Amino acid sequence: MKTIKIATDFSETPLGRYPTDGDFNGTRFREEFLLPALTTEGKVAVDIDDVEGYGSSFLDEAFGGLVRKGHFTVGALKNKLDIQYHRPEFKMYRDLVWKYIDEARPEKGK
């Protein structure tokens, strides 16, 4: 299983949805880190600990965007993706990731 640790592999300050929001946005994380791992590995663990926090726009775009952009179904992600945390205060972010995935619907034409 491949593990992506957001704090060290991407940024301690992930922020925003789009590239116009800064270098460490949800679109970039999804397209450059998460999607390549999910398409080449059996399972992928994402360690969400040790960042300053997460905005909803980052989490929704990075994770919910996998479904909206037509890359994966919700069911496929439940089999391939493991969101990990060790610090109790990060449980709410794990729960939000799954909420955004569960609520995402493919965009028309995807």
Q: How far is residue 6 CA from its own chain's centroid? A: 9
For 96, the 3-state DSSP assignment is helix
Check if the beta carbon of residue 12 is closer than 8 Å to that of residue 52. Answer: yes
Report field, pTM of the whole predicted structure over 0.75: yes
Gap between the Cα atoms of 19 and 41, Å rounded? 26
Dihedral of alpha carbons 56, 59, 61, 66, sign = negative
User: What would the pLDDT profile of 7-20 be if each residue is shown by its tens digit?
Assistant: 999 999 999 999 99
- pLDDT tens across 43-65, in order? 999 999 999 999 999 999 999 99
